[in-house]
């Protein structure tokens, strides 16, 4: 049984290993000692902070194997993006070139640089080590964030986004960035991606084309990957789509991967989650559920099979699960089907 918990300072060595394993295109975990340690410190401060509305908080969690103490994955939520640093996207839209006199009507796709998602909450930093991609570990690591958002609603915006990793090869080369590199930037994709990950974004404003880009002018290779996800990201995208997330035409400025969004009130797990009181005792096998406690700094979440009556106000948890969640008889938990 795995457990989700907030990251701690002593998790740094394993977080560094995860950053290395995540590879190119995983902007939110740069392989940089100072930046990773700063992420941990910021997360600890965010959990300790009293807030009544979303601000510059970042909540970073880890998935731990309690039997070994090993950290095997990460997952995070940004409370409100773009408040301090500009948060860039391209929006895929259309312009129409038309002439009645000539009988010409040509709709053309364009990419426009924008900051439209400023202030929204973001799901990010989702990575599970290869050896642990089994059972419901991946689903737990992604979906427990909806339990956290539902429980601490005032800490997050009304809209949530997730940037999906775009198409790139094993060496980190992106067909979309290749066109931008040749035309405007003169630096390769891994370098640009790394600079963004460590917060050095000024080069985007300095070098990014200021006017809408006609998609038809891009290389065929670049056009083919706009709005497409990396092969390893497809399961994560499918999971978010099942929760009600959709793509409204926004793509990443580096690899053109899609950004999906949903209103919090429409997210399936948020809507279906329930707050129940704990009763500790034996449990018969039933349906798979995610369960979290209702604590902030001592937040814990896991998954297990439960028998649960639809109209019950009580959930029976086995001793092992109650210990992982740090709850006792009469405490409250939040749960949802996984």
Q: How far apart are CA 308 and CA 285, in angstroms?
A: 10
Query: Encoding tokens for residue 258?
Result: 């899609």
pLDDT of residue 150: 98
- 133 and 145 within one domain: yes
- 278 and 177 within one domain: no
Q: How far apart are CA 100 and CA 225, in angstroms?
A: 34
Q: Which domain holds residue 210?
A: 3-89+115-269
Final residue in a domain of this structure, among 235, 269, 303: 269
Residue of 98, 101, 150 lying closest to 121 (CA atoms): 150
CB burial of 200-232 (b: ≥16 within 10 Å; e: otherwise) equals eeeebeeeeeeebbebeebeeebbebbbbbbee
The predicted-structure confidence for 261-301, as pLDDT tens digits, reads as follows 999 999 999 999 999 999 999 998 889 999 999 999 999 99
- 199 and 150 within one domain: yes
The predicted-structure confidence for 218-265, as pLDDT tens digits, reads as follows 999 999 999 999 988 898 899 999 999 999 999 998 889 999 999 999
Is 102 inside any structural domain? no
Final residue in a domain of this structure, among 234, 269, 304: 269
The predicted-structure confidence for 73-130, as pLDDT tens digits, reads as follows 999 999 999 998 888 899 999 999 999 999 999 999 999 999 999 999 999 999 998 8
- 33 and 119 within one domain: yes
Is 98 inside any structural domain? no
pLDDT of 199 > 70? The answer is no
The predicted-structure confidence for 171-187, as pLDDT tens digits, reads as follows 777 899 888 888 777 77
CATH number of the domain within which 255 lies: 3.40.630.30
- 165 and 278 within one domain: no
- 255 and 120 within one domain: yes
Final residue in a domain of this structure, among 269, 291, 321: 269
- 49 and 155 within one domain: yes
CATH number of the domain within which 318 lies: 2.40.40.20
Is 103 inside any structural domain? no
266 in catalytic set: no
- 60 and 193 within one domain: yes
Is 101 inside any structural domain? no
Is 191 inside any structural domain? yes
- 241 and 309 within one domain: no
Dihedral over Cα of 270, 233, 59, 338: its sign: positive
Catalytic choice (91, 173, 230, 266): 230
């Amino acid at each position: 049984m795995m457990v989700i918990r907030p990251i701690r300072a002593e998790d740094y060595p394993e977080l560094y290993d995860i950053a290395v394993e995540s590879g190119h295109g995983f902007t939110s975990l740069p392989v940089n000692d100072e930046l990773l340690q700063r992420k941990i410190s910021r997360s600890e401060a965010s959990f300790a902070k009293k807030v009544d509305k979303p601000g510059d908080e970042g909540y970073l969690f880890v998935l731990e194997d309690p039997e070994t103490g090993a950290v095997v994955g990460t997952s995070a939520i940004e409370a409100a993006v773009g408040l301090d640093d500009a948060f860039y996207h391209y929006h895929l839209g259309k312009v129409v070139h038309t002439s009645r006199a000539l009988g010409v009507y040509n709709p053309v796709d364009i990419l426009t640089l924008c900051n439209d998602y400023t202030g929204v909450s973001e799901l990010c930093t989702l990575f599970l080590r290869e050896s642990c991609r089994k059972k419901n570990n991946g689903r737990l690591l992604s979906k427990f964030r909806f339990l956290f958002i539902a429980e601490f609603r005032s800490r997050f915006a009304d809209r949530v986004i997730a940037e999906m990793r775009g198409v790139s090869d094993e060496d980190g080369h992106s067909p979309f960035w290749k066109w931008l590199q040749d035309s405007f930037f003169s630096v390769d994709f891994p370098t640009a991606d790394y600079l963004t990950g460590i917060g050095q974004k000024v080069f985007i404003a300095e070098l990014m084309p200021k006017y809408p880009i006609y998609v038809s002018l891009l290389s065929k290779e670049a056009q083919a990957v706009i709005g497409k996800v990396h092969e390893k990201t497809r399961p994560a995208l499918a999971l978010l789509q099942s929760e009600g997330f959709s793509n409204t035409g926004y793509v990443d400025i580096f690899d053109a991967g899609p950004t999906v969004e949903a209103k919090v009130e429409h997210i399936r797990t948020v809507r279906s989650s329930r707050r129940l009181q704990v009763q500790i005792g034996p449990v018969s096998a039933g349906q798979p559920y995610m369960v979290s406690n209702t604590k902030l700094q001592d937040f814990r979440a896991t998954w297990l099979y439960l028998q649960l009556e639809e109209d019950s106000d009580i959930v029976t948890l086995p001793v092992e699960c109650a210990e992982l969640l740090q709850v006792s008889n009469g405490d409250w938990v939040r749960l949802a089907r996984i």
